[in-house]
Protein backbone atom coordinates (compact mmCIF):
# COMPACT_ATOMS: atom_id res chain seq x y z
CA UNK A 1 0.00 0.00 0.00
CA UNK A 2 1.33 3.35 -1.05
CA UNK A 3 0.63 6.48 0.94
CA UNK A 4 0.93 9.74 -0.84
CA UNK A 5 1.51 12.91 0.90
CA UNK A 6 0.81 16.14 -0.83
CA UNK A 7 0.86 19.72 0.03
CA UNK A 8 -1.92 21.86 -1.15
CA UNK A 9 -0.96 25.42 -1.56
CA UNK A 10 -3.63 28.08 -1.64
CA UNK A 11 -2.61 31.42 -2.83
CA UNK A 12 -4.62 34.37 -1.66
CA UNK A 13 -4.24 37.16 -4.08
CA UNK A 14 -5.51 40.60 -3.20
CA UNK A 15 -8.78 41.28 -4.97
CA UNK A 16 -9.72 44.79 -5.90
CA UNK A 17 -13.34 45.44 -5.05
CA UNK A 18 -14.77 48.51 -6.71
CA UNK A 19 -17.89 49.98 -5.22
CA UNK A 20 -20.21 50.98 -7.99
CA UNK A 21 -21.82 54.39 -7.93
CA UNK A 22 -24.48 55.66 -10.26
CA UNK A 23 -25.21 59.27 -11.04
CA UNK A 24 -28.87 59.78 -11.87
CA UNK A 25 -31.27 62.46 -10.74
CA UNK A 26 -34.70 64.02 -11.10
CA UNK A 27 -35.48 67.72 -11.32
CA UNK A 28 -38.54 69.47 -9.90
CA UNK A 29 -39.23 72.78 -11.66
CA UNK A 30 -42.58 73.45 -9.93
CA UNK A 31 -41.26 75.54 -7.06
CA UNK A 32 -42.81 78.86 -6.08
CA UNK A 33 -40.15 80.80 -7.95
CA UNK A 34 -40.09 79.70 -11.59
CA UNK A 35 -36.34 80.35 -11.89
CA UNK A 36 -35.71 77.79 -9.12
CA UNK A 37 -35.29 74.03 -9.30
CA UNK A 38 -34.93 71.20 -6.80
CA UNK A 39 -32.61 68.35 -7.79
CA UNK A 40 -32.54 64.95 -6.12
CA UNK A 41 -30.07 62.15 -6.75
CA UNK A 42 -32.04 58.92 -7.22
CA UNK A 43 -29.53 56.51 -5.68
CA UNK A 44 -29.41 55.66 -2.00
CA UNK A 45 -25.64 55.49 -1.69
CA UNK A 46 -24.20 55.95 1.76
CA UNK A 47 -20.95 57.76 2.25
CA UNK A 48 -20.80 59.04 -1.33
CA UNK A 49 -20.27 62.62 -2.37
CA UNK A 50 -22.76 64.45 -4.58
CA UNK A 51 -21.39 67.38 -6.56
CA UNK A 52 -23.79 69.48 -8.63
CA UNK A 53 -22.84 71.89 -11.42
CA UNK A 54 -25.77 74.04 -12.59
CA UNK A 55 -24.19 75.34 -15.79
CA UNK A 56 -24.19 78.93 -14.54
CA UNK A 57 -20.82 78.79 -12.72
CA UNK A 58 -22.56 77.76 -9.47
CA UNK A 59 -21.97 74.42 -7.71
CA UNK A 60 -23.47 72.73 -4.66
CA UNK A 61 -23.19 69.46 -2.75
CA UNK A 62 -25.71 67.13 -1.17
CA UNK A 63 -28.18 64.47 -2.26
CA UNK A 64 -31.04 67.00 -2.51
CA UNK A 65 -30.31 70.61 -3.49
CA UNK A 66 -32.25 73.70 -4.54
CA UNK A 67 -30.87 76.24 -6.97
CA UNK A 68 -32.12 79.60 -8.22
CA UNK A 69 -31.04 80.84 -11.65
CA UNK A 70 -30.56 84.57 -12.18
CA UNK A 71 -31.81 84.65 -15.76
CA UNK A 72 -33.75 82.51 -18.17
CA UNK A 73 -32.05 80.15 -20.60
CA UNK A 74 -31.08 76.52 -21.16
CA UNK A 75 -28.65 75.13 -18.59
CA UNK A 76 -26.78 71.83 -18.44
CA UNK A 77 -27.21 70.52 -14.89
CA UNK A 78 -24.56 67.91 -14.08
CA UNK A 79 -24.32 65.53 -11.13
CA UNK A 80 -21.05 63.80 -10.22
CA UNK A 81 -21.29 61.00 -7.64
CA UNK A 82 -18.00 59.94 -6.02
CA UNK A 83 -17.13 57.22 -3.55
CA UNK A 84 -14.28 58.68 -1.46
CA UNK A 85 -13.06 55.22 -0.39
CA UNK A 86 -12.86 53.42 -3.73
CA UNK A 87 -12.58 56.60 -5.84
CA UNK A 88 -15.29 55.25 -8.14
CA UNK A 89 -17.35 57.98 -9.80
CA UNK A 90 -20.14 58.48 -12.31
CA UNK A 91 -21.57 61.54 -14.05
CA UNK A 92 -25.02 62.38 -15.38
CA UNK A 93 -26.42 65.57 -16.90
CA UNK A 94 -29.67 67.04 -18.20
CA UNK A 95 -30.57 70.20 -20.08
CA UNK A 96 -33.02 72.29 -18.01
CA UNK A 97 -34.97 75.13 -19.64
CA UNK A 98 -35.60 78.10 -17.37
CA UNK A 99 -38.18 80.59 -18.62
CA UNK A 100 -39.84 83.65 -17.17
CA UNK A 101 -43.52 83.03 -16.62
CA UNK A 102 -46.29 83.81 -14.21
CA UNK A 103 -48.38 80.82 -13.12
CA UNK A 104 -51.72 81.71 -11.60
CA UNK A 105 -53.96 78.88 -10.40
CA UNK A 106 -57.72 79.12 -10.82
CA UNK A 107 -58.80 76.92 -7.88
CA UNK A 108 -57.67 76.47 -4.29
CA UNK A 109 -59.13 74.90 -1.17
CA UNK A 110 -58.22 76.75 2.05
CA UNK A 111 -59.55 74.14 4.51
CA UNK A 112 -56.42 73.28 6.55
CA UNK A 113 -55.95 69.78 5.12
CA UNK A 114 -52.45 70.73 3.86
CA UNK A 115 -53.51 70.06 0.26
CA UNK A 116 -53.87 73.10 -2.00
CA UNK A 117 -54.53 75.35 1.03
CA UNK A 118 -52.72 78.35 -0.46
CA UNK A 119 -53.29 80.41 -3.57
CA UNK A 120 -49.71 80.83 -4.83
CA UNK A 121 -48.78 82.90 -7.86
CA UNK A 122 -45.52 81.43 -9.10
CA UNK A 123 -43.06 83.80 -10.73
CA UNK A 124 -39.37 84.12 -11.47
CA UNK A 125 -38.84 85.90 -8.16
CA UNK A 126 -37.19 88.86 -9.88
CA UNK A 127 -40.07 91.32 -10.36
CA UNK A 128 -42.39 92.74 -7.71
CA UNK A 129 -46.07 92.07 -8.42
CA UNK A 130 -49.23 93.35 -6.73
CA UNK A 131 -52.38 91.24 -6.51
CA UNK A 132 -55.82 92.42 -5.50
CA UNK A 133 -58.64 89.89 -5.01
CA UNK A 134 -62.25 91.05 -5.28
CA UNK A 135 -65.67 89.54 -4.61
CA UNK A 136 -68.12 89.35 -7.52
CA UNK A 137 -69.60 92.63 -6.31
CA UNK A 138 -66.19 94.39 -6.38
CA UNK A 139 -65.29 94.39 -2.67
CA UNK A 140 -61.56 93.95 -2.04
CA UNK A 141 -60.91 90.88 0.18
CA UNK A 142 -57.14 90.62 -0.20
CA UNK A 143 -54.23 92.71 -1.45
CA UNK A 144 -50.49 92.17 -1.25
CA UNK A 145 -47.29 92.93 -3.15
CA UNK A 146 -44.05 91.03 -3.47
CA UNK A 147 -41.89 88.83 -5.63
CA UNK A 148 -43.99 85.85 -4.52
CA UNK A 149 -47.74 86.22 -4.04
CA UNK A 150 -49.45 83.94 -1.53
CA UNK A 151 -53.01 84.11 -0.18
CA UNK A 152 -54.36 81.82 2.53
CA UNK A 153 -58.03 82.57 1.73
CA UNK A 154 -58.53 84.94 4.64
CA UNK A 155 -59.63 88.54 4.74
CA UNK A 156 -57.45 91.17 6.45
CA UNK A 157 -59.57 90.49 9.58
CA UNK A 158 -58.36 86.86 9.58
CA UNK A 159 -61.71 85.33 8.54
CA UNK A 160 -61.90 82.80 5.71
CA UNK A 161 -63.78 84.05 2.66
CA UNK A 162 -66.90 82.17 1.61
CA UNK A 163 -66.61 79.51 -1.08
CA UNK A 164 -67.28 80.91 -4.53
CA UNK A 165 -65.82 82.80 -7.47
CA UNK A 166 -63.43 85.71 -6.89
CA UNK A 167 -61.67 87.98 -9.35
CA UNK A 168 -58.05 89.09 -9.27
CA UNK A 169 -55.95 91.83 -10.78
CA UNK A 170 -52.18 91.33 -10.94
CA UNK A 171 -49.92 94.23 -11.91
CA UNK A 172 -46.15 94.29 -12.28
CA UNK A 173 -43.64 97.04 -11.77
CA UNK A 174 -42.76 96.90 -15.51
CA UNK A 175 -46.33 97.50 -16.68
CA UNK A 176 -47.55 93.89 -16.58
CA UNK A 177 -51.32 93.44 -16.09
CA UNK A 178 -53.31 90.21 -15.79
CA UNK A 179 -56.96 89.81 -14.85
CA UNK A 180 -58.75 86.59 -14.09
CA UNK A 181 -60.92 84.61 -11.74
CA UNK A 182 -60.40 81.91 -9.15
CA UNK A 183 -62.62 79.46 -7.33
CA UNK A 184 -62.46 79.07 -3.57
CA UNK A 185 -63.70 75.60 -2.68
CA UNK A 186 -64.14 74.02 0.74
d(CA 161, CA 19) in angstroms, rounded, equals 58
- Which pLDDT does position 1 carry in this prediction? 56
For the full predicted model, state whether its pTM sits above 0.95: no
How many H helices and E strands in the chain?
Answer: 0, 14
What is the reported pLDDT for 4?
Answer: 60
**Alpha helix segments (H runs only) across 5-135:** none
Res 15: pLDDT: 46
Domain ranges of the chain: 25-98, 107-184
Chunked mean pLDDT (size 10), the chain, 186 residues: 56 54 89 86 86 96 94 94 92 91 90 92 85 96 93 93 97 91 94
- CATH fold, domain 107-184, is Immunoglobulin-like (2.60.40)
- Residue of 137, 181, 139, 179 whose CA lies nearest to 157: 139
Q: State the pLDDT at residue 45.
A: 72
CB proximity list for 100: less than 8 A, separation 6 or greater: 34, 35, 72, 124, 126
Tell me if domain 25-98 and domain 107-184 are identical in fold.
yes
Looking at residue 174, its pLDDT comes to 83
Q: Are strands 149-151 and 49-53 parallel, antiparallel or unpaired?
A: unpaired
Is 72:100 a contact under the CB 8 Å cutoff? yes
Contact 177, 171 (CB under 8 A): yes
Quick one: pLDDT at residue 18?
53
Decide which of 2.60.40.10, 2.40.10.120, 2.60.120.260, 1.20.1300.10 is the CATH code for 25-98: 2.60.40.10
Tell me what pLDDT residue 126 has.
Answer: 78
Amino acid sequence: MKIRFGIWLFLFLPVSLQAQVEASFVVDTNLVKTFSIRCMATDNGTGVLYIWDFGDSQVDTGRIVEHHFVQEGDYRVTLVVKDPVTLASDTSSQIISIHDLLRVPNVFTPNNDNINDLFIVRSNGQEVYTITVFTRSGVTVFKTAGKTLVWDGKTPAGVYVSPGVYYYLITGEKGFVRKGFLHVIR
